[in-house]
Amino acid sequence: MADEATAAPEQAPAEDGGGKKKGMMMTIGLIAGVAILEAVLFFVFIKVFYSSPDPAHGESGEHVIDDGAAPMMSTAEVPLATRFKVPNTSKGVTYIYDFDISMVVPAEQMADAKSLVEARQGQLQDRIARIVRAANARILDEVDFKTLRGQFEEAVRDVLDNDEIVVQVLIPRCVPLRAE
């Protein structure tokens, strides 16, 4: 009997499985309540601190986009070299590149630019020829000749010794001809 009296109190806590379930439900309820509170606070934060998006360009019916750029200046083209042929062996085979090269100058400086180009024609052609002869195949195979135009522009600025006169260098024609 004494054994039964001591055994009965031990069984009573084992039947208290409802207490564990109750604790589990409270934990889940607490987590759900915190999640709901976070969602509400997030919603309030967005409503308070969010500003509306900027209006789209053209929303008012105007077709002008103001990108902050300076107004375009009037320009003119001055030819630097016409039917200018330069060999290059960077591909393992000799190619002769037949170029037309021009530069864009401000319209009010066109006369000065033409006189400078005529006075330094030999220097310009020498520098351009050196650039083409030293260029690797990757540079000569570019679709837009971006690297080559940049190198030509730097050379023209250097030879003409006037940074303001050269706006851009153009390569309107480039024909690679195999020399063999």
Domain positions in the chain are 2-49, 75-178
With a CB cutoff of 8 Å and minimum separation 6, the contacts of 151 are 131, 135
Q: Does domain 75-178 have CATH number 3.30.479.30?
A: yes
Mean pLDDT of the chain: 84
Are 152 and 130 in contact, with CB atoms under 8 Å apart? no
pTM check: above 0.75? no
CA distances, 86 to each of 27, 48, 69, 91, 110 (Å): 83, 67, 38, 14, 27
pLDDT, tens digit, for every residue of 104-138? 999 998 999 999 999 999 999 999 999 999 999 89
pLDDT, tens digit, for every residue of 49-108? 887 777 776 666 665 555 555 566 788 999 999 999 999 998 889 999 999 999 999 999
| pLDDT confidence of residue 60 | 65
With a CB cutoff of 8 Å and minimum separation 6, the contacts of 88 are 94, 95, 96, 97, 132, 133, 135, 140
